[in-house]
Structure 1
Amino acid sequence: MERTQNKYNISVLLDMSKSAEFVLTSAIELAKRIDGAIEVFHVKPTTNIIKGDSQLSAVRTLNKDARSTRAELKELISTIEKKENLSISYKLEYGNVKNRVRDYLALQKPDILVLGKPRTRMGVFFESISDFVIDNVNDTNVLILGEDDKFHSFEDINLGIFGTGLEDSDLEIIQDLKCDSDKPVRYFGISDEEDKERTYPWQKTVSYTFSKGGNALNGLVNYVSRTNTQLLCVPKKGGKSFMFKSSPLKEVIRKTNVPLMILGK
């Protein structure tokens, strides 16, 4: 996507599942809040189409599928454009999903990438893409939305921060999300990883610190929902400081049932 006059360039990675409209609408709400421009990116896997087909048959199948997929994508975007009265650009590519996503992110370098993450075990495809994106972006913030999230607006949102590692470069987007809201930002941490005497630019911070232990992360994640936190911000660069067996970042992604903003700036 071309750099725009907007403050943020937002890319939306759509899988065209039943949650696609929700993910795109949520991205639009985010764009309204922080002055963003939106581009949709969709990759259609070709492996299953080509396998077992003759070359001519594969080409015909791809062309037919291309028209169908593009029409479906354009219909979704057109419907939302009319509803929201704004213009949304899009890119449609074919091939290996991970390779295309990696190349797109390297070329476009969006400020924010928005994607969905199904909560069920059936969502293996997008769970792997979530992991892949986290592993392959360094300067892009990633907003991950579950299909059961009921996110209607970013206005006056209840924000939370998980763990240490919040850097000065992460503060700007949090400030833009808070805007003029007087609500406190909630800090969730494990005792050994708690920031010491950290000063934040916003007026109010409420801390919830859990004792280190095998069930600490589960307890913390459950408490995030109980505090009505609507968006949990997780600094990517702080992940290595947590004392868990597997990647704490990916554990939070899998277990947390609220929208997540992985701060990669």
Structure 2
Amino acid sequence: MKQNRYKILVLSDLKETTDQVLKSTAGLAGIVGGDITLFHVKKPIDVIERESQLSAFRTINEKNLKIKRRIERHANHLLKEHNKQIGYKYTFGNVKNEIEEFIKANKPDIIVLGKRNAKSISLIGDNITDFVLKTHKGIVMIVGNENTIEPNQELSIAALDGKIPVNIRFAKELLSCTTSPLKSFKFVNKGNDLTETVLSPNLKTEEYVFERNENTVQNFSNYLLKKKINLLLIDGDYKNEKQKEGLNQSDIKSFIKKTNVSLLISNN
């Protein structure tokens, strides 16, 4: 395990799923040994709604206090329910710029996001999930709406082709928190022979095979829920080295967008 504690950054819009995201983050932090910081950005256009300068300052102060109270409410809930303290910071400005600057200044090991609501355009700004995946060269956890990580409870973990992404440095700690076998999901094109997967001899693994078609992503997502998977490990730089196998980079992106369980993405 890393000698220093992992720095875990939660990017939050403070919407209704915030407590769920923080709970799953607390579960991960308890496993890997991490400290949590919540960061929230409010667009200036959402704050300044009045014309006069005095009214604008008054509005900023009102919004400032409101945001602080909301964050403290979530922090107190996490402390009361799961005995986990968090730090927090919030600011006003361009969402992507402020997030990028905060990442550069604080160098988090893991960034946590909530799952995008299918009815909304974004999480905290426009396409923040894609932006973070492009900006942060490290681990990103996207907390799903189903089978969330529960603090102090065992995990059911899955991986594509039975491969643990190499830059998940705390994979050993994750796997030590599950007594169930690692679930390995493999995808093949219709009519192609299934090539043998070489799995680690040290891992107890169950392998499942899906035929790739127009319903692959939905079928896969449904099966993850059925098998009660808490965490799917994904190599964000996945490259298909075996042409007979059906998985490709576009499939990976679809999994990230449409899968309802939590994802842990290694992003080199």
Per the shorter chain, which TM-score range?
0.7 to 0.9
Q: Which has the higher helix share?
A: 1
Tell me the equivalent position of 1:204.
204
Amino acid across the alignment from 1:178: L
> What corresponds to 2:107 in structure 1?
109
- What is the root-mean-square deviation in Å for CA atoms of aligned residues? 3.1
Q: CA deviation at 1:17?
A: 0.9
CA distance in 2 between counterparts of 1:12 and 1:201 reads 35
Aligned counterpart, 1:185: 182
Q: Specify which of 245, 248, 251 is matched with residue 248 of structure 1.
A: 251
Alignment match, 1:136? 135
What is the match of residue 36 of structure 2?
38
**Partner residue in 2 for 1:176:** 173
- Decide which moves more: 33-42 or 45-54: 45-54
Unaligned runs of 5+ in 1: none
When structure 1 is superposed on structure 2, of 180-189 and 34-43 the one drifting more is 180-189
In structure 2, the gaps of 5 or more residues are: none
Q: In the alignment, is the contact (CA less than 8 A) between 1:163 and 1:238 conserved in 2?
A: no
Q: Percent identity?
A: 29
User: Which whole-Å deviations, capped at 9, do the CAs of 1:18-64 have from their partners, x for residues lacking one?
Assistant: 11112112211211122111111111221233366343332221122
* CA distance 1:42–1:216, change in 2 (3 Å): same
> Match for 1:50 among 48, 51, 55?
48
Distance 2:115 2:52 in 1: 35
TM-score normalised by length of structure 2: 0.82
Give the alignment of 1:1-265 within 5 angstroms.
6-50=4-48, 53-122=51-120, 124-126=122-124, 128-139=127-138, 141-153=139-151, 155-162=153-160, 166-170=164-168, 172-179=169-176, 181-191=178-188, 197-200=197-200, 202-238=202-238, 247-264=250-267
Corresponding pairs, count: 260
Distance in 2, matches of 1:9 and 1:191, equals: 38
Question: 1:155 & 1:145 partners in 2: Cα distance?
Answer: 16
Moved over 6 A (4+): 240-246
* SS at structure 2 position matched to 1:37: strand
